[in-house]
Structure 1
Amino acid sequence: SLDNSTALKDCDCSVLFKRDIPTIKRDMQDLRKYGVDIHSEKKRGICVTGPIEQSRLRDLIVQYLGICNAASGADKATALLVRQLKAKALCHVVVLERCIEQHTAAIIDYEKEAGEVEEQREICPLLLFSSEGSWRILAINDGVAKQYHLNKVVRVKVGSKKFKCIPQGEIDEMFRYSFRSWVGTEKHHIRIRLSEEWARRIKPRQLMETQLITEEKDGSVVFASTVNSLTEVASWVVSRGKGVEVLEPEELKTKVIELARGALSNYHNA
């Protein structure tokens, strides 16, 4: 359970969050309806007495961080979207969210490359999410899960086709093996040796839900996990440079070598 060690009461939360006490009580009631066993006790104050499901925790954290980021202006993805699309940014978000909620296809004009716009592409949007500094659309197109950069959507409108809702569990599974932002159903087991210097940086971090870190006698570590894209991992390995060595699979080693050679070719006259 989550305890309230400082014994905050309704009146304390009213001051802390700058809301009146009836609002605090309504918020607690909403949380109970959501599955959070939160109550105000005479001696202990406000406390959560029962366990909270992990899915609920993830949703609450996302909502809370979203509010904090919006208030602080620290959301780089949103700043980029507004800078590029201006007033159309809000329009696109509203239309796409409407399509997601109503399970209705969206028709988009999409800028694949600079100046090259593909018109009237029909997508079935499932989710808007932020990754690597930009907002993206997870959608089904021609039966395949794909992602689109929201800032590259030139125009969007609600289509006429309805699509079957995909369970949240299936959407979560698409992201489970994502090393950075790639969404897919492939699964590759990887093992990477990290030098002692890199080990100090990586060990405190959770890069993947499925990761396993094994410490070696020389101070290095072996990072093992399952990913859905070897290309993303290869780019990460090359960007780290010395001290990060792919152990398996061979296909990942090959991709790393090809990327490294490509980068070196830019300096063949140096």
Structure 2
Amino acid sequence: MKDLRSKIKRQTELLGLVLNEPAKYLIPDLAMEYEIDDLTIKRDMMDFRSSGIGIHSRSKKGISIDGELPDGVIKPILESYIGTTIYSKSFDRATQSLTKKIGSKAIVIMSYLQRGIDSNKKVIISYKKPNQKISGEQIIGGEKSEGKFNREKLDGRESVVQESDERKIEPLIIYESEGCWRLLAKHENNYKQFLLERIQNIKQTNESFPKHNQSEIRELFSGSFKSYLGKDKIEVKILMDTEWAERLRPKLLLENVSYSPAEDGKVLLETTVNSFNEIAAWIVSRGKGVKVLSPTPLKEMVLKLAKEALENYE
């Protein structure tokens, strides 16, 4: 089993290298990279050709792929690779979405990031932020953004659109949340998350970074549904109908959750979160039977979101 995992990992990363930089690598280069013989690399290439991938090594010109990868092979390759490197109970929807949006580039992005994680080597990514209308200061994630901007006309009004920018990052963990593959990385001494589907290009570097404290990384996830990460610690109390409590109790929503009996058969849920944004949206989506007791700012955010949702039907 270990040999099979090693083979799947090597073959996918080989494919990612050749897709991203055609004709750069000779067979001996890759054999040296993975500490195997040339014949094994040739067998890997034969395996790819048998699945319809036109990968070839031409004398002194390196390895390249003729044409595009067949549509039916990208998702299975990614699924096999994810199964050997990333541990998640639910990744099929995220993989399907990533494959649909960026095609074979998904193999390049995923394999380059995982190589960086495995070897503690920094990577350089070109990352595209979503287009946003801006009024006043540009704020993203509660912080001023220092990205590049241009202006364009939208519905007759001038708006600011953020372009992609290049960043050198320390990749730490690839994980799935809300149907999307995400990367937790360190950039300019801050922990940040990136959506893999928005990484436009990626380059390897030989610049090492120190191994990160795993307990510190786990701490970032402990108060989050994984789509927003941060170091803030906010204590939250929510009153729930018994029916909701029984439905949710088996599910690990957050790592630090306690349930206790309350009046009228209701249940008090207490937890610690690192952002109001995620849990407020989650509470609104539950509807009747889930009520915020504290803190007040969370109550206000829930009411605001609920009113905005109702306005869609006025």
**TM-score of the superposed pair, with normalisation by structure 1:** 0.68
In structure 2, C-alpha distance between the alignment counterparts of 1:119 and 1:233, rounded to whole Å: 30
Q: Report the counterpart of residue 166 of structure 2 in structure 1.
A: 120
Structure of greater relative contact order (alpha carbons < 8 Å, 6+ residues apart) = 2
Runs of 4+ in 1 over 4 A off after TM superposition: none
What is the aligned length?
204
* Equivalent AA in structure 2 for residue 81 of structure 1: L
In structure 1, C-alpha distance between the alignment counterparts of 2:264 and 2:102, rounded to whole Å: 51
Q: Report the counterpart of residue 93 of structure 2 in structure 1.
A: 76
Q: Report the counterpart of residue 105 of structure 2 in structure 1.
A: 88
Equivalent of residue 230 in structure 1, options 276, 281, 285: 276
Give the 3 Å change call, closer, same or farther, for CA 74–179 of structure 1 in structure 2. closer
* Equivalent AA in structure 1 for residue 100 of structure 2: R
Give the 3 Å change call, closer, same or farther, for CA 264–78 of structure 1 in structure 2. same
Unaligned runs of 5+ residues in structure 2 are 4-79, 132-160
How far the C-alpha of 1:119 sits from its partner, in A, is 2.5
Answer whether contact 1:92 1:156 (CA < 8 A) is retained: yes
Q: Report the counterpart of residue 265 of structure 1 in structure 2.
A: 311
* Equivalent AA in structure 2 for residue 109 of structure 1: S
* Equivalent AA in structure 1 for residue 282 of structure 2: W
How far the C-alpha of 1:265 sits from its partner, in A, is 2.3
In structure 1, C-alpha distance between the alignment counterparts of 2:295 and 2:209, rounded to whole Å: 38
Answer whether contact 2:91 2:179 (CA < 8 A) is retained: no
Equivalent of residue 206 in structure 1, options 252, 259, 265: 252
**TM-score of the superposed pair, with normalisation by structure 2:** 0.59
How far the C-alpha of 1:137 sits from its partner, in A, is 0.6
Residues 187-226 of structure 1 deviation map (CA, whole Å, 9 limit, x = unaligned): 1110000123322312333322211101224221110011
* Equivalent AA in structure 2 for residue 244 of structure 1: V
Unaligned runs of 5+ residues in structure 1 are 1-18, 24-62
Q: Report the counterpart of residue 180 of structure 2 in structure 1.
A: 134
Moved more, 195-204 or 226-235: 195-204
Residues 153-175 of structure 1 deviation map (CA, whole Å, 9 limit, x = unaligned): 11111235432221222211211
Secondary structure of 1:218's counterpart equals helix
Give the 3 Å change call, closer, same or farther, for CA 151–188 of structure 1 in structure 2. same
Give identity over the alignment, percent.
38
Equivalent of residue 223 in structure 2, options 160, 170, 177: 177
How far the C-alpha of 1:150 sits from its partner, in A, is 0.4
* Equivalent AA in structure 1 for residue 297 of structure 2: E
